[in-house]
Structure 1
Amino acid sequence: MHGSCGLTELSYSSIMKKTSRLGLLALALSGLAATGHAEDRRTLTLSTYAVSQPGFERYVYTPFRAKCGCNLVVETGNNADRIAKLDARRQNQVVDMVLFSDFGMLEAARKGLVQPLDYGRLKNYDDLEPFAKDPVGGKFAVGYTAYSVGLVYRSDKLPAVTSWKDLWSPALKGRVAMPDITTTQGPLTLHMAEVSWGGTSPSYATGMDKVLANRGNVVTFVKNSAQLAALFAQDEIWLAPVPRFVWAQMTKSGMPLKWASPKEGQAAGLNVMGIVAGSKNADLAYQLMDFWLSKEVQTALALNMIDSPVNKSVTLPKEIAEVSTYGEEQMASLKFVKPDTILANRAGWVDAWNKGMAR
């Protein structure tokens, strides 16, 4: 989640006061941490996504460095590139802790690149949503944020959208965008197509056939979700699957847009944490994990529209909750795609997609 959601000056000020505690923590503890020589401190290396790094620096990295009295180095990149780096360094690992999508972590686990976790070392583990606990099996991961993918529509052009099947409406020919299969949202949308059209194949064969058959309705298959706001603003599309974190940006556009609640539910993705096999700083990695999962940090990230919380003790104001994957109603509607389903079918999906698009 990024951007602003049109809060009033008063409510925004109130929220900022709450999140300033982490900044004060960093300042208060930095003096204590600075009493040791920098060269004597241990260094924890984190591998993560490039997105939202300024926010993570402010609300996670800086206060954690002050709290642990250690150095924290951050490497960034996408799932595939970072897994390849871990594999190449297998005999002499540099990274200690990794953040991946759930299917990225499962792939890393199957390659022996991450180690099983001792959940007893995470004080905040019991406060997590059930889906964030052991999300890939084998105790290789813990979830730190979830996001939903739902339907957003132009409310001045369309009546209320109630089903994912509306993406196939003849009345919307040339007014629909859908995600490319190679994006994170691609398999999630494919899953909802399978569910909506009554398919039962573990490879989502029905969903794939339906999506490919819908090419005539689709203006573009987007490869970057940031494109969606521009497509709506330019009146090129009236309906599209949209990740919740992009919806936060869209709400400040002034466009007459609404988030639909399809009867089939919403697709959902999960980002997770793990510890690299052979890490020499696993104890520091556990400390950072627990800090990241704490009510205080999860609240700060949510209030600043960086990540939706998975810690159930977090309470969000209405303005923020409306653009977050948060609350009983949202959680009940989430339809997660199993990470092993993505790994088992990814190559086949891309092949079928490329052949279908070439026809």
Structure 2
Amino acid sequence: MKTPRHVRLLFTLLPLSLAAAQAQKTTLVVSGFGIAQDKIEKNIAKPFEAVCGCNVVFEVGNNADRLAKLTARKANPNVDVVLLADYFAKQASNQGLFEKLDTAQLSNYGKLYDFARDPLKDGTAVAFTVYSVSIVYRTDKITKPITSWKDLWRPELAGKVALPNITTTQGPPTVWLVNRAYGGKDSDASAAFGQLGKLKVLTYYNQSSQVTSLFAQDEIWAAPVGRFAWGGLLNTKKPLAWARLSDGQAGLVNVASVVKGSKNVALAHKFIDFMLSTPVQTAQALDLVDSPVNKQVKLPAAVANQLTVGVSQVAGLRFMDTSYVLTNRDNWIQRWNREVVK
């Protein structure tokens, strides 16, 4: 029995029609960190694709490299949404690389902590995660708990400390809080650089994975660390504690913005709103990827203890103004290289 010609033609055209439908799908390009990307695909990218009927493609890298790419392509951007640490985002905003956010398109905006709603103070970003910076230490090596930034200078810690490099996101808040601990004023960080130059440091790290390895190999006993690394540090099975510092823990945020010139501004807003939703923020927290900025997220105590979560924890953080960081960053890098690393 011969297949009718019109049926044969239908089967011939069907793959072409499906391919055309695929080709017509909008692609949203997101510039991100590349950390825990498998979890981000599971919790954010794939579920959003199912909702929007679009494709989500991530371009990943560190803050500095991705900011440089955004700057280079300012006239013809190939990214729609960018995720950056707050003061890298402030640099981008100052260069006119971001659209103003239309918060009316963000249905989850009202669920955010106040600090997350306009972290750059110019209407171009929302925070999607928060983390603290404090000191992690070995409780079997340091019997008296660390309770101050000054405790890094204890004699028994000589040569057993790792510091974040000044060009990392943890570097500037470490300088800032050490300066305050030693009585310095924000207008002059000499107290911090004077003390940091005397500190006997094993190494200066650029990535949190380096700190994890150093603790795992018993090479260091203490280090200033971002809370996002806490889960990995616990996996070393070493007896570690997160210091509750009387002179303060720094609070930092990572932010989401729509790139100026994006051809998918409305879709970019939908993606950011999706990231801020209670289910997504909960899923990211349960996987220990990000601490939530959505106040409606509820977590088991065992999970919450590994993150920066809750009104009481957030209220105890000290946030640096992004403009303050940018004003001082170049000078601090020069002083760091001259007075600390030597």
Question: Residues 84 and 174 from structure 1, CA distance in 2 versus in 1: closer, same or farther, beyond 3 angstroms?
Answer: closer
Confirm whether residue 240 of structure 1 aligns to residue 223 of structure 2. yes
Confirm whether residue 212 of structure 1 aligns to residue 201 of structure 2. no
Residue in 1 that maps onto 2:68: 84
* TM-score, with structure 2 as normaliser: 0.90
Residue in 2 that maps onto 1:13: none
SS in 1 for 2:193: helix
SS in 1 for 2:197: helix
Residue in 2 that maps onto 1:174: 159
Shift, 1:294, TM fit: 0.2
Of residues 316-325 and 89-98 in structure 1, the stretch that sits farther from structure 2 once superposed is 89-98
**C-alpha distance in structure 1 between counterparts of 2:212 and 2:66, whole Å:** 29
Of residues 349-358 and 258-267 in structure 1, the stretch that sits farther from structure 2 once superposed is 349-358
Alpha-carbon RMSD? 1.7
**C-alpha distance in structure 2 between counterparts of 1:297 and 1:151, whole Å:** 29
**C-alpha distance in structure 2 between counterparts of 1:257 and 1:190, whole Å:** 23
**C-alpha distance in structure 2 between counterparts of 1:117 and 1:71, whole Å:** 22
* TM-score, with structure 1 as normaliser: 0.86
SS in 2 for 1:297: helix
**C-alpha distance in structure 1 between counterparts of 2:51 and 2:188, whole Å:** 46
**C-alpha distance in structure 2 between counterparts of 1:292 and 1:203, whole Å:** 38
Q: Retained in 1: the 8 A contact 2:215–2:236? A: no
Confirm whether residue 63 of structure 1 aligns to residue 47 of structure 2. yes
SS in 2 for 1:194: helix
Deviations 1:232-273, CA, capped at 9 Å, x for gaps: 233322221121121111223221111110111211211000
Confirm whether residue 131 of structure 1 aligns to residue 115 of structure 2. yes
SS in 2 for 1:82: helix
SS in 2 for 1:139: coil
1:142-291 maps to which residues of 2 (within 5 A)? 142-158=126-142, 159-214=144-199, 217-291=200-274
- Specify the code of the residue in structure 2 equivalent to 1:258: A
- Specify the code of the residue in structure 1 equivalent to 2:178: A
Deviations 1:30-82, CA, capped at 9 Å, x for gaps: xxxx9991112222111111212111111100010110011222211222222
**C-alpha distance in structure 1 between counterparts of 2:132 and 2:279, whole Å:** 23
Deviations 1:94-138, CA, capped at 9 Å, x for gaps: 111111111111111111111111112111001101110110011
Confirm whether residue 315 of structure 1 aligns to residue 298 of structure 2. yes
Deviations 1:269-311, CA, capped at 9 Å, x for gaps: 1100001111111000010011100000000000011111000
Of residues 184-193 and 337-346 in structure 1, the stretch that sits farther from structure 2 once superposed is 337-346
Aligned residues: 324
SS in 1 for 2:59: strand
Question: Residues 118 and 264 from structure 1, CA distance in 2 versus in 1: closer, same or farther, beyond 3 angstroms?
Answer: same
**C-alpha distance in structure 2 between counterparts of 1:74 and 1:350, whole Å:** 30
Shift, 1:231, TM fit: 2.1
SS in 2 for 1:105: helix
Shift, 1:88, TM fit: 2.1
Residue in 2 that maps onto 1:337: 320
**C-alpha distance in structure 2 between counterparts of 1:67 and 1:36, whole Å:** 20
Question: Residues 93 and 231 from structure 1, CA distance in 2 versus in 1: closer, same or farther, beyond 3 angstroms?
Answer: closer
**C-alpha distance in structure 2 between counterparts of 1:354 and 1:347, whole Å:** 11
Q: Retained in 2: the 8 A contact 1:45–1:97? A: yes
**C-alpha distance in structure 2 between counterparts of 1:86 and 1:254, whole Å:** 40
**C-alpha distance in structure 1 between counterparts of 2:187 and 2:154, whole Å:** 26
Q: Retained in 2: the 8 A contact 1:203–1:341? A: no
Of residues 49-58 and 135-144 in structure 1, the stretch that sits farther from structure 2 once superposed is 49-58
**C-alpha distance in structure 1 between counterparts of 2:283 and 2:40, whole Å:** 10
* Paired-residue identity, %: 44
Question: Residues 247 and 68 from structure 1, CA distance in 2 versus in 1: closer, same or farther, beyond 3 angstroms?
Answer: same
Residue in 2 that maps onto 1:14: none
Residue in 2 that maps onto 1:43: 27
- Specify the code of the residue in structure 2 equivalent to 1:229: T
Unaligned runs of 5+ residues in structure 2 are: 1-17
**C-alpha distance in structure 1 between counterparts of 2:315 and 2:189, whole Å:** 22
Shift, 1:209, TM fit: 2.1
**C-alpha distance in structure 1 between counterparts of 2:139 and 2:68, whole Å:** 44
Unaligned runs of 5+ residues in structure 1 are: 1-33
Confirm whether residue 94 of structure 1 aligns to residue 103 of structure 2. no
Deviations 1:119-170, CA, capped at 9 Å, x for gaps: 1211100110111011001101000001111111111222111111101122
**C-alpha distance in structure 2 between counterparts of 1:280 and 1:266, whole Å:** 40
Task: State the structure with more CA Rg.
Answer: 2
1:10-49 maps to which residues of 2 (within 5 A)? 37-49=21-33
After the TM superposition, which parts of structure 1 deviate over 3 Å for at least 4 consecutive aligned residues? none
SS in 2 for 1:213: coil
**C-alpha distance in structure 1 between counterparts of 2:215 and 2:100, whole Å:** 44
- Specify the code of the residue in structure 2 equivalent to 1:331: V
